[in-house]
Structures are given as C-alpha cells and as structure tokens.
C-alpha cells in the first residue's frame, strides 16, 4: 500500500486524517516537531495500526531538508500544518504570514524533489470570505477569494496567509505538473483525539461558560449575531481523503456542512445541554450568508448532523476534564 505524508500530524484535523488513512490501509509518514512529546503526539501512537504503519518524523515547515526526509518514498501529501495563534500576536506578519507562506513553499518544493504525485493542501474558509467586494446576493463558492490587501489593512493576517499560500500552491502545481487540490474547511467542531484543545473548539467550549469567543477567528463583527459556517472534524477528514483519492478531484473545494447564526447555535446547545450558562448578548445583524459546497458533494462527500457533532464534542470535553 502506498505511503502518504501528513504535515502537522499531531493537530486536531490532522489526527483524524492520520486515523482514517491508517484505517484504510495506508502507511503514514507524520511530520511533528518532536516525536518524543507524548502530550502532543501520544494519541497518534495509540491509533489502530499505528504501531506497524505510522512513522513520525521530526520536521519543521521552515526546514526544507527535514520535509524532504519525511516525504521520501511517499506517493502523496496532505499538508495541514500551519501556525494558528490562540489570540493576538506581537508581530502577525512575522509570526503568521511569513511562516505560513514559507512553509507551504517548502512543502511544495519538497514534494517536487521527492517525486510526490499528489498534494492536498488544507486552506480555510477564511481564504474565501474576507472579500467585501463580493456581491451580497451572490452565493459563496470556490470562485470567491479573500482580498489579501483588504486582509492586511484590517489585521486579518491568518486570512491573508491562507489565501496567499493556497493560491501559490495551486499555481505551483500548474507550473510544475504536480497534482494539487486545495480544501477550504469552515469552523471545525467535533470530538478531539488529542487532549490539548484547539482554537475552534475553544470557541465551542467557551459558549458553555457564558462567553462568546468567536473573535478568536477572523470573522467580521464576531461579537454580533453573525452566521457561523461549521463542519465536523470527521467530515473534514473524509473530505480531505476524497480530495486525495478521487482522480477527478481538481482545483479548490469549499468544505462546510451547516450554517447558522450564533444565537441559533446557542439555542441548539441549550436544548441539548440545558445545565450550562450561555452567552445572551448577540446584537442582531442584517446580513445574509449563502454557501454552496456542491462541488465537494459532487465528489461523493456527505456529512453528519450538527446535533451529533455537538454531542460528540461535549463528550470529549467531559472526558478530558474541560467541562465541569
């Protein structure tokens, strides 16, 4: 069976990708900063088939040589690793923008050197939506790109980094005859395989504590009753595998299964888990949001109910002692 390299293998989405690849019989090369760090990577070693089919490599996205070592012998790569700060950083251009872009360039060049046949690059819905000139009545799909200049002027550094990296990766593929597919997941909720909590699940967890912390992610008016696009981490992993396995997969894919307003999300959580204190103040916004993931669905993708995502998320929060 072929070998697939997963960058940032210990992360939230990447862990599920590793799990699914192993379950399907693939050998996996996972890049991590420190393979001996049990807190960050121990959960990977416990996955079914990990002992015989998972090899963790010490690699850094800014270290081209280490990436070449990890990708040696691989048929494909799923590039997920990216800097995601939990809050404000002192120098966003140096700490977010430049590492993300340089890291993706290193990955693409390493793929070329090691003769990888296909690369799936994980981008973000934030590489799509930060574009104020997109017509308000037009459905948001893969043709919409975040306006990089607008992002940098408005401190949306993560959005800018994702948009630049994704576009560069697609162009690199075309220039070098390398098959590159990009997937843009929305806000990812769902059960965690690791014990450390990620940025998106912090948002969900904080809602149970009466806090609206959507401002951790670069959406406009994040304290208001805005629309939030959500995808389950398991559905996201399946989307990435479809993008990798399907020969017809091409270009860019938006990956989001549910869109609802923050107030509606809180009401749903209340109905499922009535014993928590929830935020109550969501100033109304007269805005509409219409996404289509038809392209991803046409690839054979389907997704679970939002209720299941939320119930399973809470189960892992409780298991890891994150909810009293």
Sign, Cα dihedral of 105, 74, 255, 283: negative
Looking at the domain assignment, is residue 314 inside a domain? no
pTM recorded for the entire structure: 0.95
Q: Tally DSSP H helices, then E strands, for the chain.
A: 14, 10
Sign, Cα dihedral of 263, 268, 271, 272: negative
Q: What is the CATH number of the domain that holds 57?
A: 3.40.50.720
Looking at the domain assignment, is residue 79 inside a domain? yes
Confidence band (pLDDT; 50, 70, 90) for 286? low
Report pLDDT digits (tens) over 40-51.
999 999 999 999
Looking at the domain assignment, is residue 306 inside a domain? no
What average pLDDT does range 266-275 have in this prediction? 96
Strand partners, 55: 29
- Of 35-39, 114-118, 254-258, 294-298, least confident by mean pLDDT is 35-39
User: Which has the closest alpha carbon to 251: 167, 159, 127?
Assistant: 167
Confidence band (pLDDT; 50, 70, 90) for 93? confident
Looking at the domain assignment, is residue 315 inside a domain? no
| DSSP 8-state secondary structure symbol assigned to residue 246 | -
CB-neighbour burial class of residue 280 (10 A; exposed 0-12, middle 13-18, buried 19+):
exposed
- Of 188-202, 256-270, 273-287, least confident by mean pLDDT is 273-287
- Of 32-36, 89-93, 114-118, least confident by mean pLDDT is 89-93
> Cα separation of 255 and 239, whole Å?
7
- What pLDDT sits at residue 84? 62
Looking at the domain assignment, is residue 223 inside a domain? no
Give the residue numbers spanning the domain of 75. 3-189+230-256+290-299
What average pLDDT does range 155-183 have in this prediction? 96
The number of distinct structural domains making up the chain is 1
Confidence band (pLDDT; 50, 70, 90) for 290? confident
Is a pLDDT exceeding 70 seen at residue 151? yes
> Cα separation of 120 and 132, whole Å?
28
pLDDT, greater one: 74 or 82: 74
Looking at the domain assignment, is residue 224 inside a domain? no
Confidence band (pLDDT; 50, 70, 90) for 218? confident
> Cα separation of 134 and 74, whole Å?
39
Is a pLDDT exceeding 70 seen at residue 34? yes
Alpha helices in the chain (DSSP H): 12-23, 38-45, 50-53, 64-71, 92, 98-113, 126-129, 148-153, 157-176, 199-207, 233-245, 262-272, 294-297, 306-319
The rounded percent of the chain whose pLDDT value lies above 70 is: 95
Q: Catalytic residue, from 162, 179, 261, 263: name it.
A: 162
Read off the tokens for 22.
Answer: 């192993």
pLDDT, greater one: 89 or 193: 193
What average pLDDT does range 246-261 have in this prediction? 96
- What pLDDT sits at residue 14? 98
Sign, Cα dihedral of 71, 37, 98, 151: positive
Looking at the domain assignment, is residue 119 inside a domain? yes
Contact 30, 44 (CB under 8 A): yes
162 included as an active-site residue = yes
Looking at the domain assignment, is residue 252 inside a domain? yes
């Amino acid at each position: 069976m072929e070998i697939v390299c997963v960058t940032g293998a210990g992360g939230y989405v990447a862990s599920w990708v590793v799990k699914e690849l192993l379950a399907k019989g693939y050998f996996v090369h996972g890049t991590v900063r420190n393979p001996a760090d049990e807190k960050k990577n121990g959960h990977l070693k416990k996955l079914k088939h990990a002992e015989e089919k998972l090899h963790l490599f010490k690699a850094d996205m800014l270290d081209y040589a280490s990436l070449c070592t990890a990708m040696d012998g691989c048929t494909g790569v799923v590039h997920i690793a990216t800097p995601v700060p939990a809050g404000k950083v002192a120098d966003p251009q140096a700490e977010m923008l430049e590492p993300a872009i340089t890291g993706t360039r290193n990955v693409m060049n390493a793929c070329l050197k090691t003769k990888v046949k296909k690369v799936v690059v994980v981008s973000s819905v934030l590489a799509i939506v930060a574009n104020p000139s997109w017509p308000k009545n037009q459905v948001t799909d893969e043709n919409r790109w975040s306006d990089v200049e607008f992002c940098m002027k408005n401190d949306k550094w993560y959005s800018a980094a994702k948009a630049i990296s994704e576009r560069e990766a697609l162009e690199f593929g075309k220039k070098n005859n390398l098959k590159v597919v990009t997937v843009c997941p929305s806000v990812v909720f769902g059960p965690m395989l690791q014990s450390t909590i990620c940025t998106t699940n912090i948002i969900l967890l904080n809602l149970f504590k009466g806090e609206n912390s959507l401002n951790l992610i670069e959406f406009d008016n994040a304290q208001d009753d805005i629309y939030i696009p959500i995808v389950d981490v398991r559905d996201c992993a399946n989307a990435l595998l479809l993008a990798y396995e399907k020969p017809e997969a091409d270009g860019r894919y938006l990956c989001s299964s549910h869109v609802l307003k923050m107030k509606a999300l809180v009401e749903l959580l209340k109905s499922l888990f009535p014993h928590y204190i929830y935020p109550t103040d969501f100033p109304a916004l007269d805005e509409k949001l219409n996404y289509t993931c038809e392209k991803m669905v046409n690839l054979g993708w389907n997704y679970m109910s939002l209720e299941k995502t939320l119930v399973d998320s809470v189960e892992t929060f409780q298991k890891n002692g994150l909810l009293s």
